[in-house]
Structure 1
């Protein structure tokens, strides 16, 4: 490894670290159908990367007669149930890259719009100490795409955002990380990320190591100083 390691690596959860978007979509569909509504794949795609409170508003408009907190709690409980029953569905290469970073001594944070109680279920199901910090959607005043979640993570870790690398799979998430000043790597999953502004796009995390992450940070610094 020739490039300096980042001060920290910040991970989005749903769709980036773990492929839980199908779990969310199943929970949304079942909830809407229980109120006699219909929920298409196209409608579900509009919620990818959206804060849970905002998602709740969309579901209310689709006919769910519950308050926003009740919707958030219901969906969270359903996704947690699926996680416990089926295990953590890591995206290809995500677990291996996370372990590589931990073995290299790089601090890591999970920065997600899911409720912190759900994020901790995912973390607890990982067989090694994966994260130094967990920031959930209920831990911040403003959700992604505002920079608040990533700024809060950097502040709590005591690092400069410009010295960190963030991984995101959604436009809203990438915009949040970019606005916070991190070097953002887009890892598209269900929606494209071209034109969002990430420093680089990786089609997959498979085969990636801490050295690759260090090289991304070095390339970003070189671009700034050029």
Structure 2
């Protein structure tokens, strides 16, 4: 069934999730992998440099690592980083507080979920294997898009894949959950109401999206309320 809202606006039908920093707190794992790789080529990797990579597409991150002295091609950098993060995930999956509970709330409410991440398929499979089958009805990974976040392509592709199951799905029936400015920019550019739950890096207030301190304690009904507020705001501005 569809989750009701208190207005005549479109009901919540789908939620599109970012993964790193939103569903799972893997940013510390990426920072370890990046630091080890830079140090292997005689360089140093600061916290400030690591923060520049949060939310970025992997090819963009690989270019920044090349600038830091990693004398490898972008493809090899991505493969090495991914393998190291997967190795760390084998020891523990650091779920963000409230993420699993909110996923369950959405399932109970009959709201479809999609995963839209810049991580590539091998790492994503490690996360999906630890969730109930069918948790995500669509998955978009970084190796399946031409343009990564902050470009809207990842979320537009996520919407297109959900449409196979949800006939007539429109962006104004969906909410995106992100943790970074590049991710939120991508989701907003795809026409989605967006909630940011900052993780490793603060997100500027002037980005214009709703921010939550945590997912903990939040429910599907609250996501529906965010959608209603955002849709009402768009309507008052004359936006579709």
TM category, shorter: over 0.9
| Alignment match of 1:164 (pick from 174, 179, 182) | 174
User: 1:209, 1:93 → 2: CA distance?
Assistant: 9
User: What's 2:107 paired with?
Assistant: 102
TM-score by length of 2: 0.90
User: What's 2:200 paired with?
Assistant: 190
User: 2:209, 2:80 → 1: CA distance?
Assistant: 36
| Alignment match of 1:209 (pick from 215, 219, 223) | 219
Q: Could you tell me whether the CA contact under 8 Å between 1:142 and 1:149 is conserved in 2?
A: yes
Structure 1, residues 148-169: CA drift from partner, whole Å, max 9, x if none? 0000110111122221100010
Counterparts of 1:115-134 in structure 2 under 5 Å? 115-127=120-132, 129-134=134-139
TM-score by length of 1: 0.95
Q: Does 1:147 align with 2:162?
A: no
Structure 2: any 5+ residue segments left out of the alignment? 164-168
Please report the RMSD computed on the Cα atoms of aligned residues, expressed in angstroms. Answer: 1.4
Counterparts of 1:1-226 in structure 2 under 5 Å? 2-3=4-5, 5-86=11-92, 88-127=93-132, 129-158=134-163, 159-195=169-205, 197-226=207-236
4+ aligned runs moved over 3 Å, structure 1: none
Q: Could you tell me whether the CA contact under 8 Å between 1:165 and 1:217 is conserved in 2?
A: yes
User: 1:105, 1:120 → 2: CA distance?
Assistant: 24
Structure 1: any 5+ residue segments left out of the alignment? none
Size of the aligned set, in residue pairs, is 225
